[in-house]
Amino acid sequence: MMRWNFAFFLCICLLLSACQGAPTPSLVVVSTVEVIKQSQSIPTLIPYHFRTSTPGTVTLHGQLTVMDPLTFMPDANDAIFLAPLQGGSSDVTTIPSFKVGEVPQADVDESTGEFTFTDIQPGRYLLMVLTKGGSEMPARWLDQDSLAIINVDESEKGKTIELNHLRLP
C-alpha cells in the first residue's frame, strides 16, 4: 500500500511541475473611490459693517480701484482721506497736504475697496490716498481723468452721497 501512495504522490508532483511552465503575466488594477459628505455648508463672506454718521452730518460712500497695485497700493491702515480745499474755484492748482488724524479718514472694507466717510461737515474736499510708500496721491473719478473733488452742501446734511467708483492713480 505504501508503494501506491508513493507512486501516487510522485505522479501528482510530476503533473504539478508540468503545469507550471512559464508564468503568465497578470494585471491587477486597484481602484478606490472615497466620497466624503461635508456636514457644514461652504462659508459665505461676512458683510462689512460700516460706521454710521451722527445726525446733522453727511456720509460719503464709494469704492476705490487701484489701477497699478505694484506701485500705488494704499497703506494698510485705511488710508483714504478727505483733504479740505480752500477757496471756491473749481480748479485745483496745488495738491493739499494733510496730517493723519486732523482730516476725515475713511472706514474701508479692505477686501473690496468699498469705503465710507462719516460725520462730514459741509465743505469742499479732495479725496486723497496715502500709499504704502508714504506718498499722498489724489484719487480720480474712475470714468474720467479729473480729480475726485467732492462738494458737500448744507442741504445734504443727514444724507448719504454716493461717490460711486474712484481710482488710484
CA distance 62 to 165: 6
Domain ranges in the chain are 58-168
pLDDT band at residue 42 under the 50/70/90 scheme: low
Q: Above 70 in pLDDT, residue 8?
A: no
CA distance 22 to 15: 15
CATH for 58-168, options being 1.10.3720.10, 2.60.40.1120, 2.160.10.10, 2.40.30.10:
2.60.40.1120
Match 460711486 to its residue by C-alpha cell. Answer: 164
Range 74-86 average pLDDT: 88
List, for residues 122-161, the tens digit of each pLDDT value: 999 999 999 888 889 999 999 998 999 999 999 999 999 9
CA distance 112 to 126: 21
Specify whether the CB–CB gap between 102 and 109 falls below 8 A.
Answer: no
For 15, half-sphere exposure in the C-beta direction (CA atoms, 13 angstrom radius) is 6
CA distance 150 to 142: 14
